[in-house]
Structure 1
Amino acid sequence: MVASVGLPVNRVEGVDKVTGKARYSADTQVAGVAYAALVQAQIPHGRVTAESVDAAAATASAAPGVLYVLTPTNCPPLQVLPKELTWDLPLERRPPLSDLTVQHVGQHMALVVADSPENAVHAASLMDFDYIAAPAHLDATEVVSGGGAADDVDELIRHGAYRPDHFVKLTDEKLQDFRGPRGEPPGIKVDQTYRTAVNAHYPIELSATVAQWDDGHLTVHDCTRWITGERRVLAAYLNIPEERIRVVSPLVGGAFGSKSFLWMHVVLCAVAAREVGRPVKLVLTRDQMFTSTGHRPRTEQQVALVADAAGTIVSTEHHTLTETSTVAHFCEPAGVSSRILYQSPRLAVTHTVARIHAPTPCFMRGPGEAPGLFALEMAMDELAYALGRDPLALRMDNLADVDQTDGRPWSSAHLARCYTTGARRFGWDRRPLQSRSLQRNGIRVGWGMATATYPGRRMPAACRVETDADGHVRFSAATHEIGTGVRTVMTQLAADTTGLPLSQVSFESGDSSFPDAPYSGASQTSASVGSAVFAAAQEWRGRADALPATADGPGRAAALSFTTASGPGPDVDTVSRSFGAHFCEVEVDEQIGRATVTRWVAVMDCGRVLNPKLATNQVMGGILFGLGMALMEQVPHDPHTGRLLGEYYVPTHADRPAFDISFVDSSDYGLDPIGVRGIGEIGVCGVAGAIASAIHHATGKWLRQLPITLEALLGPRDDDRED
């Protein structure tokens, strides 16, 4: 048998996707389905009157085809989630439609159910409320300075600011004091503030839910990346046993974090289906996705680096101010990379979260590392120029070979090799240190680089094996195909481990009736589910070898059908972490303020590569994701009303640079038995910093706020640092 792991096998669902046969949540066909439309709040803070809610519901109910209108005044009581579901996840403490207060623009205020999508939308448009506005806090700085109301930890709605050390695991910081007599560490210091904008996930597939009740059992077809978690949260809100809920999510068309958690529209769809006694389908609009399915919050990051004359870092500080809603906890852990990437005798990393009147944020591709590495890598470049050093050389001289938080070494680390390989492939040795040194056809050219890193993670997972009488073996787990090729690499892994050809093996996912698996996020699916598939395939092989040669048919199939489980990562004395290096070229037309990324080299150290084609696709997608973060993406709001303004720009194929993607293909068995680490997040990490670095090299401007806009590129150069 020819091994398939390590080969560029095509996606097993690829033909279905390109021919239109693939089915997503919104494609679900259920007999007798009704259609729902949301009504959302138009102010950031205040309340609505019960009288106006009832009047609006009466108006909508009289519209053609309307079957039911769900509002705060008639919504059946929903349960408050237990603390273990809300203390470190962006799940809302307050059940939807549970009171008449408004906590952000876009908050769900009603759900209209009708016999057609058009009638539901029309009736929803007729609903107007009388708002009693209250002061709204829309700025984190204002809240931290005392503008917000006092925090009451016992309430479902909370205000003020807090330090979420329990969430970002920032205890036991190294605080060895190197401060001089004037309160500052000795040496050459860079101390700057870097800002990132609100980013939207903007997946191709709109969030869609179909809810159906049968004899007290709920089936939910939803585009989710955590079907078992969604089942658990729905059970808690609805106060029914988990075993009476089934969540189905066959394929997910993009998510980037927005579909990792249950959002309020799913709960309301389930409630509405129960009330009308028939299935209900709800598909969010593109505008509603901006306020209803999470986002990356703004950050303001102060980074202070101190190095001695030889370029050795002696102090690192990284302090982040970010924001969450008043009804859920979330922290963008931007400082985590600063604790581990570069060696520093003194480390001080903090996060402050302000509760503002805005929708709940959540994890977005590369959470923490994506915005955090923009700030850290920009600061490293600024330090390099202050020292007169090459930015790559400064990084290589200060690499940490252990996790500085606990002293454990990396289980496998090849960052230096990523640097040297990437530099050679890019031609970094031809880069002049002086900015504004390169031109092409009258256009400024700049070369930049940055480091990528993301933790290796593994959680418990289980896998079922079912062997058909004809010998076909089906593996299944309650994981998800989110477009990354999970079904493909699990099939490859199962085939090689059992010794069967690919054509005789398949892998199924997307159903909570399958054995439990973690959410598809945090770059953990290959390590987590892959370990379970590997264990199941090994057991299948052992059972098959032990069967008598005469065993066949149903008896053989029954003997080779079972479920097995795999635990979390082993308790070892090493730390698993992925690394990489980005090198990029940009062209900056200073006459019109346009920056174009033209060339990209990335070398990644992500453990064993199961499928190089899919791995390369993931890194390319991550780089484009980071390109949008750096140059285009921001959700504009009116600073006084919180209302959305303008448009949201994302990269297209026209923005794609010439890619050179490669891997250090080295197995890491410190995390799992198959030697892999996740690859979904690391592609975006460091990208924005590399682009900002290249823009500085092209223009001489230190642009410390994302996205880097036309206005910033047309503005004057900084006077505080000449190169």
Structure 2
Amino acid sequence: MTTATDDAGRSVNRVEGRQKVTGAAQYAADTVIAGVTHATIVQSEIPHGVVTRESLELSAARASSAPGVLTVLTPLNCPPLHAPPHDLTYDLPLERRPPLSDLTVQHVGQHMAVVVADTLEHAVFAASLFELAYETLPAQLSASEVLEQPVPPDEKGGQICHGSYRPDHFVKLDEEKLQDRRGAKDEPLGATRVSARYTTPENAHYPIELSSTLTHWDGDVLTVHDSTRWITGERTALAAYLGLAEENVRILAPLVGGAFGSKSFLWMHVALCAVAAREVQRPVKLVLTRNQMFSSTGHRPRTEQHLSLVADEDARIVSTEQHTLTETSTVAHFCEPVGLSARFLYESPRLVTSHTVARINTPTPCFMRGPGEAPGLFALEVAMDELAYAADVDPLELRLRNDPDVDQASGRAWSGKHLRECYQQGAERFGWRERPMAPRSLTRGDVRIGWGMATATYPGRRMPAGCRVRTDATGTVGFASATHEVGNGVRTVMTQVAAESAGLLLEQVTFDSGDSLFPDAPYSGASQTTATVGSAVYQAALEWRSRFLDLLVEQSESPFFGMNPAALTVSAGRVCAVDGPAESVADCLRSLPLEGLTFTVTSSGAAADGPVSQSFGAHFCEVEVDEAIGRASVVRWVAVMDCGRVLNPKLARNQVMGGITFGVGMALLEQVPYDRHTAQLIGEYYLPTHADRPEFDIGFVDVPDYALDPMGVRGIGEIGTCGVPAAISNAIFHATGKRLRDLPITLENLMAPFDEEGSR
């Protein structure tokens, strides 16, 4: 018999927390290598055109003669990079056209040159000497322009594409259909119908840590210290661009200082940094500036959503349509999958969803926290609020009436669904029953008060992953996987899982990540890391315990020699026999052959034919709106989440609070400000601060989902954001009577006069 300690399920502090708060934590840019040089990027200033050869040659010559400059790479002299294979670009946001491969300009901020010098100051000065001239071409800067204008021919064998298209599925997930329908061909008549247009702007990830890369070569072997959350995928993609064998590329990213999606893929500055290091035969460090990250590491693209809901006389939905127009670059694919939630979230016999992607002269977009669900649920959940008022039904009651028992998209059962408990517990904690239905009913002094709610949902995902185990004579058992610590507590939770499953104390276990030499793991995103890597760690810990007990009973000097391993327990770092001896694991290890306790395991992904794993939740919020000055403040928030088993309640609550704060920014502040004629950045990008933080009350249903993984967990990272902007918009409607369907909700929105529908 074996048992485990109860380390998982406890609010354990972050294992790297002390390093972070004392400044000892090491990030990519902190890496110290002798002889390092510094690179900076020269970027284009127009959205579409061709840089003239003469201006490029003259600029490169000026920069090359500047103090300390070692090399200047431009499209005229950069060693050619390989185009990546089709399977890396057709449904992932990896650029089809290698950087510095031609003179065309496809967006503002495109990399036009790399300057390498002995110091950062010298590199920046030399880059400032570039004065590029262009033959400008007409730019398409919005989806509407693409749809309304003639489609130019594709270029460079399809590396540069124009026009629009309708992708079939979201990234590698064939079952997540971007074009879908069920039920009758035509929209039915109903007692109530709402139909409206909703828009979301371009959002920037804006992590605290800038994207940083340090590359160096040892013969044909490339080592890359990078701020990435896709170690093994970056190794594959970088090897493809450089024409290397994957085993000749090592990626290191021990800690990542935030990402929100911006570090989920290989970006072109990393490939250029590697080329530069090979050219100068010295290590090269390249740290993007804050402004360069707006055009170099992805963003959430704009969306325009047209959504219609039809309900019968009992306020039961009979038809749902959600049609989305979004944008990508001319050199890479990405589709913001906003319509996925509409396929299953509410009972709807008829459904039509579509996604149209326009290729515009913009940098390549990519995943951002809550990809698809965050902007998609803004439209769907505001539309549900509109339907509730049109049908004269409480918004919570409307959702309860239309809560489906199975996944309508596949017809399969849920692996575990407790959304009703989220609704009920959240409403009770918030005091929803006291909410008057009529808008403009609540005040606090001269300030309008509004209560709003929305549903949250995000898929539960699990992919294959590996875990290595090594045991030393001191009694420390080290687990390692090529996953990432992006600030969400992965190392801490993996340490908890390993300790609990192996029967060890937390201090006897270490967990290392951030090295492509460790067993493979997928990118840290899509709320899958705990279920994915955790399953490998769990399996490895069980295997370690089994091997440990087998060795223990085989050694003649062991007090457990000759016993049945099944009669021994391992718990809290001690081995005990029923009615027999007890010994610490550390003492036992001193006499065991440790080579048998060093091994690697691989965990599979989720079963393709199993039940559908999906996380759910309910958001309830209170806002204050001062109509005299057009200010909306979110003051109180209750959220209850159904995310399977909660391994670390402290980290889980922090994740959800962070996600809600992220959603507050999306709702009220965030949009990338561009000049619509030149596509140049203007103004500032506003983010929520502690002053914008509401009072939080975060809860979990905490029912394990063992159909997805052996620990019963589902991801928490994304779901905190999903539904948040809609809950805020719905609360503002309740406070003011204004139905605001465009994000962000600004002072101008709040002070705009009513139209005949109560909308701006």
TM-score by length of 2: 0.93
Deviations 1:490-516 (A, max 9, x none): 000000111011110110000000000
Letter paired with 1:346:
R
The answer to whether the 8 A contact 1:436-1:699 is kept is yes
Matched ranges for 1:84-483 at <5 A? 84-150=87-153, 154-167=157-170, 169-170=176-177, 173-177=180-184, 179=186, 185-483=189-487
The yes-or-no answer on 1:39 pairing with 2:42 is: yes
The whole-number CA distance in structure 1 between the counterparts of 2:739 and 2:152 is 36
Q: 1:516 to 1:40 in 2, by over 3 A?
A: same
The answer to whether the 8 A contact 1:45-1:133 is kept is yes
The answer to whether the 8 A contact 2:215-2:225 is kept is yes
Partner secondary structure for residue 351 of structure 1: strand
Matched ranges for 1:674-685 at <5 A? 674-685=711-722
The whole-number CA distance in structure 2 between the counterparts of 1:442 and 1:721 is 21
Matched ranges for 1:60-99 at <5 A? 60-99=63-102
Matched ranges for 1:511-530 at <5 A? 511-530=515-534
TM-superposed CA distance for 1:528, in Å, is 0.4
TM-superposed CA distance for 1:172, in Å, is 7.9
The answer to whether the 8 A contact 1:174-1:405 is kept is no
Letter paired with 1:625:
F
Which of 1, 13, 21 in structure 1 is aligned with 2:24? Answer: 21
TM-superposed CA distance for 1:129, in Å, is 1.2
The yes-or-no answer on 1:619 pairing with 2:623 is: no
The whole-number CA distance in structure 1 between the counterparts of 2:151 and 2:675 is 19
Partner secondary structure for residue 313 of structure 2: coil
The whole-number CA distance in structure 2 between the counterparts of 1:465 and 1:142 is 55
TM-superposed CA distance for 1:154, in Å, is 4.3
The yes-or-no answer on 1:49 pairing with 2:52 is: yes
Partner secondary structure for residue 519 of structure 1: coil
TM-superposed CA distance for 1:88, in Å, is 1.0
The answer to whether the 8 A contact 1:33-1:279 is kept is yes
The answer to whether the 8 A contact 1:151-1:161 is kept is no
The whole-number CA distance in structure 2 between the counterparts of 1:718 and 1:633 is 25
Letter paired with 1:514:
F
Q: 1:484 corresponds to which residue?
A: 488
The whole-number CA distance in structure 1 between the counterparts of 2:254 and 2:207 is 16
Q: 1:540 corresponds to which residue?
A: 544
Deviations 1:88-134 (A, max 9, x none): 11000000000000000000000000011011001001111110000
The whole-number CA distance in structure 1 between the counterparts of 2:96 and 2:597 is 45
The answer to whether the 8 A contact 2:5-2:499 is kept is no
Structure 1: any 5+ residue segments left out of the alignment?
A: none
Q: How many residue pairs end up in the alignment?
A: 719
Which of 701, 705, 711 in structure 2 is aligned with 1:664? Answer: 701
Deviations 1:269-294 (A, max 9, x none): 00000000000000000000100000
The whole-number CA distance in structure 2 between the counterparts of 1:301 and 1:532 is 40
The whole-number CA distance in structure 2 between the counterparts of 1:503 and 1:184 is 63
The whole-number CA distance in structure 2 between the counterparts of 1:147 and 1:688 is 36
Q: Root-mean-square deviation (CA), in Å?
A: 1.3
The whole-number CA distance in structure 2 between the counterparts of 1:170 and 1:703 is 29
The yes-or-no answer on 1:610 pairing with 2:647 is: yes
TM-superposed CA distance for 1:54, in Å, is 1.2
TM-superposed CA distance for 1:4, in Å, is 1.0
Partner secondary structure for residue 180 of structure 2: coil
Runs of 4+ off more than 4 Å:
150-154, 551-555
TM-superposed CA distance for 1:541, in Å, is 0.5
Partner secondary structure for residue 469 of structure 1: coil
TM-superposed CA distance for 1:402, in Å, is 1.1
Q: 1:503 corresponds to which residue?
A: 507
TM-superposed CA distance for 1:184, in Å, is 5.1
Q: 2:600 corresponds to which residue?
A: 563
Deviations 1:609-666 (A, max 9, x none): 0000000000000000000000000001111111111000000001000000000100
The answer to whether the 8 A contact 1:471-1:557 is kept is no
The whole-number CA distance in structure 2 between the counterparts of 1:12 and 1:173 is 45
Partner secondary structure for residue 177 of structure 2: coil
The whole-number CA distance in structure 2 between the counterparts of 1:58 and 1:150 is 34
Which of 738, 746, 749 in structure 2 is aligned with 1:709? Answer: 746
Which of 570, 573, 576 in structure 1 is aligned with 2:613? Answer: 576
The whole-number CA distance in structure 1 between the counterparts of 2:717 and 2:601 is 26
Q: 2:582 corresponds to which residue?
A: none
The whole-number CA distance in structure 2 between the counterparts of 1:454 and 1:254 is 20
The answer to whether the 8 A contact 2:179-2:353 is kept is no
The answer to whether the 8 A contact 1:142-1:148 is kept is no
TM-superposed CA distance for 1:216, in Å, is 1.2
The whole-number CA distance in structure 2 between the counterparts of 1:107 and 1:152 is 17
TM-superposed CA distance for 1:177, in Å, is 1.5
Partner secondary structure for residue 287 of structure 1: helix
Aligned sequence identity (%): 66
Partner secondary structure for residue 655 of structure 2: helix
TM-superposed CA distance for 1:570, in Å, is 1.8
The whole-number CA distance in structure 2 between the counterparts of 1:10 and 1:107 is 42
The whole-number CA distance in structure 2 between the counterparts of 1:419 and 1:689 is 16
Which of 476, 491, 498 in structure 2 is aligned with 1:494? Answer: 498
TM-superposed CA distance for 1:171, in Å, is 6.8
TM-superposed CA distance for 1:13, in Å, is 0.2
TM-superposed CA distance for 1:146, in Å, is 3.2
Q: 2:572 corresponds to which residue?
A: none
The yes-or-no answer on 1:645 pairing with 2:682 is: yes
Partner secondary structure for residue 102 of structure 2: coil
The whole-number CA distance in structure 2 between the counterparts of 1:283 and 1:571 is 41
The whole-number CA distance in structure 2 between the counterparts of 1:335 and 1:189 is 19
Deviations 1:315-353 (A, max 9, x none): 000000000000000000000000010010000000000
The whole-number CA distance in structure 2 between the counterparts of 1:554 and 1:217 is 40
